[in-house]
Amino acid sequence: MNNKKIVIIGGGTVYHVRNHLALCAPAYGATAHQLFTSSRILFPAMDVDLYLTKMAGACLISSHKTYRAQEKPYNLETNQDISNLIDELVEDY
């Protein structure tokens, strides 16, 4: 049987325009945290992972353990970083 997993990505991203100039979408992961908590209640048998961007604390919170950025280097800052993470997750699945 194939284990199913819920993956939630939350937090704002930064778009680098030039050196020392960037635009951002400020978001700190509150909605993602609520989705994570609700998913764990609604789907207790499933693994749930919450990836937070650098702006939201840069960590991976799994159903099993919380990984800080130092333990698992998910330095999610830009939309490209999010795209790379999604590609990695799809490959692993």
**pLDDT tens, 19-60?**
999 999 889 999 999 999 999 899 888 889 999 999 998 888
State the burial class of residue 56 (Cβ atoms within 10 Å of its Cβ: 0-12, 13-18, 19+).
buried
Q: What is the pLDDT of residue 17?
A: 94
User: What is this structure's pTM?
Assistant: 0.84
Total count of domains within the chain:
1
Residue with tokens 């992972």, as numbered in its chain: 49
- Domain residues for 86? 5-92
